[in-house]
Structure 1
Amino acid sequence: MVGLYIGSTFGFSGKNLITLALGKKFQDDGLNIGFMKPVGAIPKEIDGKMVDEDAYKTTQYLQIQSDPEKLTPVLVSQDFKMKAYTGECLLYKDDIKKAYEELSQNKELMMIGGSGSFLYSGKYCQLDGYNISRLLGSKVIIIDRYMRELNYDYLIAAKEVLGDDLIGVILNDVPEYFMQETKDFIVPMLQNRQVDVLGVIPHDDVLKAITIGDLATQLGGKIISMHTKSDQIIQSFLIGTMQIENFMTHFHRNKNVAVIVGGDRSDLQLVALEGNCPCLILTGNIYPNDIILTRSEVLGVPIIVAREDTFTVAQKMENILNRTKLREEVKINQGCQLVNENLDYATLYKGLGLDPK
Structure 2
Amino acid sequence: MPGLYIGSTAPYSGKNTLCLGLGLKFRKEGLSVGYFKPVGAQAAKVGNAWGDLDAVAISEALGQDIAPDTATPVLVTQDFMHKVFAQGPCQDRTSDIIAAYKKISKGKDVTLVGGSGGFLTSGLYACLDGASVAKALDVPVVIVDRCTHEMNYDILLAIKEQMGDKMIGCVLSDVSGGYLEEVNSVLAPFLARRGVKVLGIIPHDRVLGAVSVNVLAERLGGKIISSAHKADVVAESFLIGTMQVENFLAYFRKHPKAAVIVGGDRSDLQLVAIEGRCACLILTGNLYPNDIILARAENAEVPIMVVREDTYSVARRMEALLARHKLRDPGKFQQASQLVAANLDVAAIRQGLGL
Instruction: Specify the TM-score bucket, using the shorter chain as the normaliser.
Output: over 0.9
Aligned to 1:38: 38
* 1:202 and 2:199 are equivalent in the alignment: no
Displacement of 1:7 in angstroms is 0.5
Displacement of 1:79 in angstroms is 2.0
Contact 2:148/2:176 (CA < 8 Å) preserved in 1? no
Aligned to 1:12: 12
Q: Please give the alpha-carbon distance, in whole angstroms, between the structure 2 residues aligned to 1:160 and 1:69.
A: 33
Aligned to 2:275: 274
Read off the aligned partner of 1:166 and give its amino acid letter: M
| Length-normalised TM-score, structure 2 | 0.97
Contact 2:42/2:53 (CA < 8 Å) preserved in 1? yes
Contact 2:31/2:109 (CA < 8 Å) preserved in 1? yes
* 1:49 and 2:49 are equivalent in the alignment: yes
Q: Please give the alpha-carbon distance, in whole angstroms, between the structure 1 residues aligned to 2:332 and 2:230.
A: 18
Q: Deviations over 1:285-332 (max 9, x none)?
A: 111111111111111110011111111111111111111112333322
Find the residue that maps to 2:96 and give its secondary structure.
helix
Q: Please give the alpha-carbon distance, in whole angstroms, between the structure 2 residues aligned to 1:201 and 1:88.
A: 37
Aligned to 2:58: 58
Find the residue that maps to 2:5 and give its secondary structure.
strand
* 1:140 and 2:110 are equivalent in the alignment: no
Which structure 2 residues correspond to residues 82-97 of structure 1 after superposition, within 5 A?
Answer: 82-85=82-85, 86-87=87-88, 90-97=91-98
* Structure 1 stretch displaced more, 71-80 or 173-182: 71-80
Contact 2:210/2:236 (CA < 8 Å) preserved in 1? yes
Aligned to 1:165: 166
Q: Deviations over 1:99-157 (max 9, x none)?
A: 11222222221211100011111111111110011101101100000131010110011
* Structure 1 stretch displaced more, 248-257 or 235-244: 248-257
Structure 1 residues 88, 149: CA separation in 2 closer, same or farther (over 3 Å shift)? closer
Q: Please give the alpha-carbon distance, in whole angstroms, between the structure 2 residues aligned to 1:80 and 1:253.
A: 46
CA RMSD of the aligned region, Å? Answer: 1.3
Q: Please give the alpha-carbon distance, in whole angstroms, between the structure 2 residues aligned to 1:6 and 1:212.
A: 31
State the identity %.
51
Contact 1:80/1:89 (CA < 8 Å) preserved in 2? no
Q: Please give the alpha-carbon distance, in whole angstroms, between the structure 1 residues aligned to 2:229 and 2:127.
A: 47
Read off the aligned partner of 2:56 and give its amino acid letter: Y
Q: Deviations over 1:171-190 (max 9, x none)?
A: 00000001000000000000
Which structure 2 residues correspond to residues 177-192 of structure 1 after superposition, within 5 A?
Answer: 177-192=178-193
Read off the aligned partner of 1:277 and give its amino acid letter: C
Q: Please give the alpha-carbon distance, in whole angstroms, between the structure 2 residues aligned to 1:247 and 1:88.
A: 51
Equivalenced residues, count: 354
Contact 2:33/2:62 (CA < 8 Å) preserved in 1? no
Contact 1:3/1:109 (CA < 8 Å) preserved in 2? yes
Contact 2:237/2:255 (CA < 8 Å) preserved in 1? no
Which structure 2 residues correspond to residues 302-317 of structure 1 after superposition, within 5 A?
Answer: 302-317=303-318
Q: Unmatched 5+ residue regions in structure 2?
A: none
* Structure 1 stretch displaced more, 177-186 or 70-79: 70-79
Structure 1 residues 96, 254: CA separation in 2 closer, same or farther (over 3 Å shift)? closer
* Structure 1 stretch displaced more, 74-83 or 158-167: 74-83
Q: Please give the alpha-carbon distance, in whole angstroms, between the structure 2 residues aligned to 1:123 and 1:147.
A: 26
Q: Please give the alpha-carbon distance, in whole angstroms, between the structure 1 residues aligned to 2:318 and 2:251.
A: 18
